[in-house]
């Protein structure tokens, strides 16, 4: 089915049928034999999974959605891939994304866009549009994404799937090609809150290969998803994440979700996060600064593509220049240039320094909000899926999709997006976002289960 053109969705960049079938058969055989080996199987053993093509895999290409990595094969598996292989989940293949995870629509992929299975003229969100579309189109029951500013949650919202950005450090980033290291986090994409909990428990945990990975066990997520009780829980509606710029149908489904929680015994409070209005501005300085540093390693020597200048001497600078000119797309170039500028001597304090101060203010807003509420709630994205091409030539309009998701990355707190029904005006899925304090991922699964 996936090989057969995937009905125009184009969720996958690479399909790995043979290896996936071999793993599935092995799990079947183990189950059929029964005994201790069958008992020892992970609950997700045999459940196929799709992997965002930013996460490195042995035996399958990893492109990051970029020409610059074309032809490169990773010599090692990401930590999350090792865990997935050990638990015997068949890996279906690698999913499409905006180049190096930069975008909100998957239109910045060097290999063509992914389309939203709900309406092929619309975007599936980004950067992890391939993973979300694969799950929404029933091509995969599970997928992995990465979320730097919303790339798991916003695609989840616009495709009617569940997506979770765990607490920063809850899941090892070893083997996720870095976009902005202080914001990046790997997380699950699924059709249900319980599936996401099972997957996060599997891929999470301390990893000596990631110095930012936490030692907390995060082993109560599945129990929380099975519990689903919100009796007495304080749910905070974030005043700033709504109103102007939010589609009426999105706000209506959001109010339904709040009422559902109230009906289930939660206490609804309003909280204010006055510095959230600066989050997008701070993100678009911090993120490109880290991007410009992380992408410097793609130099035409170490990985993938190498382009030689047509004439003149073959110096390292000229080979690097020709490779990067041909290998990077417009959005990657835009962010590298922006980041290099923001970090340059003379501008560093004014731009990067100020953005870091704003980051602290946003963390304080969260602290104050979580003193009043156990979990925060908002729409995940201000609108439903927009049309392909609609925002491609307007970077600022594209960036505005992330207003509600970015604060969590800046503060390192976990966020979950789940389907909240369809908007009246266009019949497209609306996403509801839940946010919890750092290390309290279990609360997201508990409240998420209540909303399902």
Is residue 6 near ligand GLN by the rule CB under 6 A?
A: no
Is residue 150 near ligand GLN by the rule CB under 6 A?
A: yes
Is residue 107 near ligand GLN by the rule CB under 6 A?
A: no
CB of 148 to ligand GLN, least distance (A): 3
Element (H, E) at 83: helix 79-86
CB of 104 to ligand GLN, least distance (A): 4
Q: Which of 93, 103, 429, 437 binds ligand GLN (CB under 6 A)?
A: 103
Which residues 307-336 are close enough to bind ligand GLN by CB under 6 A?
A: none
Q: Is the CB of 154 or the CB of 323 nearer to ligand GLN?
A: 154
Assess whether 151 carries a catalytic annotation. yes
- Cα–Cα dist 198/204, whole Å: 10
CB-based closest residue to ligand GLN: 151
List, in sequence order, every beta strand (DSSP E) within 132-283: 142-146, 162-165, 186-190, 234-238, 267-271
Contact region for ligand GLN (CB under 6 A) — 3-11, 147-155, 319-327, 378-386?
A: 147-155
Which residues 376-405 are close enough to bind ligand GLN by CB under 6 A?
A: 402
CB of 320 to ligand GLN, least distance (A): 25
Catalytic residue (one of 66, 127, 289, 378): 127
Of 180, 155, 183, 154, whose CA–CA distance to 169 is shortest?
183
Residue 59, token pair as written in the block:
């035996």
Catalytic residue (one of 104, 105, 151, 292): 151
Which residues 276-295 are close enough to bind ligand GLN by CB under 6 A?
A: 287
CB of 100 to ligand GLN, least distance (A): 8
Assess whether 94 carries a catalytic annotation. no
Q: Is the CB of 48 or the CB of 126 nearer to ligand GLN?
A: 126
Q: Is the CB of 49 or the CB of 101 nearer to ligand GLN?
A: 101
Is residue 410 near ligand GLN by the rule CB under 6 A?
A: no
Q: Is the CB of 291 or the CB of 373 nearer to ligand GLN?
A: 291
Q: Is the CB of 31 or the CB of 277 nearer to ligand GLN?
A: 277
Number of other CB atoms surrounding residue 25 within 10 Å: 12
What does the buried/exposed string (b/e) look like for 348-372 if buried means 16 or more CB atoms within 10 Å of the residue's CB?
eeebbebbbebbebbbebbeebbee
- Please give the order of strands across the beta sheet that includes 162-165: 12-15, 91-95, 49-52, 142-146, 186-190, 162-165, 415-422, 429-435, 375-379, 234-238, 267-271
Residue with tokens 């290409």: 61
For 278, which DSSP code? G
Task: Tell me the CA end-to-end span of the chain in Å, nearest whole number.
Answer: 29
For 51, which DSSP code? E
Q: Is the CB of 151 or the CB of 289 nearer to ligand GLN?
A: 151
- Cα–Cα dist 167/214, whole Å: 9
Q: Which of 11, 179, 319, 450 binds ligand GLN (CB under 6 A)?
A: 179
CA 90 to chain centre: 21
CB of 19 to ligand GLN, least distance (A): 27
Give the torsion through C-alpha atoms of 241, 104, 172, 162, to 10 deg: 70
Q: Is the CB of 300 or the CB of 407 nearer to ligand GLN?
A: 407
Q: Which of 102, 132, 435, 449 binds ligand GLN (CB under 6 A)?
A: 102
- Cα–Cα dist 101/98, whole Å: 5
CB of 445 to ligand GLN, least distance (A): 21
Is residue 127 near ligand GLN by the rule CB under 6 A?
A: yes
Residues of the chain by 3-state class (helix, strand, coil), percent to 5: 40, 15, 45
Assess whether 52 carries a catalytic annotation. yes
Q: Can you give the binding site for ligand GLN, defined by CB under 6 A?
A: 101-104, 126-127, 146-151, 179, 287, 402
Catalytic residues, by residue number, are 52, 127, 151
């Amino acid at each position: 089915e996936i090989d057969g053109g995937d009905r125009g969705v184009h969720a996958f960049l690479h399909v790995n049928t043979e290896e996936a079938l071999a793993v599935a058969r092995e799990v079947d055989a183990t189950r059929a034999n029964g005994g201790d080996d069958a008992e020892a199987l992970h609950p997700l053993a045999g459940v196929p999974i799709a992997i965002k093509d930013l996460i490195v895999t042995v035996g399958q290409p990893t492109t990051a959605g970029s020409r610059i990595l074309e032809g490169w094969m990773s010599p090692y598996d990401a930590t999350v891939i090792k865990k997935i292989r050990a638990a015997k989940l068949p890996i279906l293949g690698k999913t499409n994304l905006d180049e190096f995870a930069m975008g909100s629509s998957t239109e910045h992929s060097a290999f063509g866009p992914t389309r939203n299975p709900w309406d092929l003229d619309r975007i599936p969100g980004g950067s992890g549009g391939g993973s979300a579309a694969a799950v929404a189109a029933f091509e995969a029951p599970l997928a992995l994404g990465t979320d730097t500013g919303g790339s798991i949650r916003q695609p989840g919202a616009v495709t009617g799937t569940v997506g979770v950005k765990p607490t920063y450090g809850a899941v090892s980033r070893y083997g996720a090609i870095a976009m902005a290291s202080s914001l990046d986090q790997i997380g699950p994409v699924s059709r249900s809150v319980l599936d996401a909990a099972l997957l996060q428990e599997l891929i999470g945990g301390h990893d000596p290969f990631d110095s930012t990975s936490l030692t907390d066990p995060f082993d109560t997520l599945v129990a929380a998803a099975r519990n689903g009780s919100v009796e007495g829980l304080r749910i905070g509606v974030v005043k700033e994440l709504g109103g102007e710029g939010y589609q009426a149908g999105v706000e209506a489904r959001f109010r339904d979700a709040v009422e559902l929680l109230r009906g289930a015994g939660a206490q609804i409070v309003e909280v204010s996060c006055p510095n959230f209005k600066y989050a997008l501005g701070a993100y678009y300085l911090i993120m490109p600064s880290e991007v410009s540093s992380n992408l410097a390693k793609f130099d035409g020597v170490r990985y993938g593509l190498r382009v030689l200048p047509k004439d003149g001497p073959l110096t390292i600078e000229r080979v690097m220049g020709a490779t990067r000119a041909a290998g990077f797309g417009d959005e990657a170039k835009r962010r590298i240039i922006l980041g290099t500028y923001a970090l340059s001597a003379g501008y560093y304090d004014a731009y990067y320094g100020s953005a870091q101060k704003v980051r602290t203010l946003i963390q304080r807003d969260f602290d104050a909000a979580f003193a009043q509420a156990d979990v925060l709630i908002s729409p995940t994205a201000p609108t439903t899926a927009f049309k392909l091409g609609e925002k491609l030539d307007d970077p600022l309009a594209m960036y505005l999709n992330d207003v509600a998701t970015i604060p969590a990355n800046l503060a390192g707190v976990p966020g979950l997006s789940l389907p909240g029904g369809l908007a009246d005006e266009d019949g497209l899925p609306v996403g509801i976002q839940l946010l919890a304090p750092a290390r309290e991922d279990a609360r997201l699964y508990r409240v998420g289960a209540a909303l399902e």
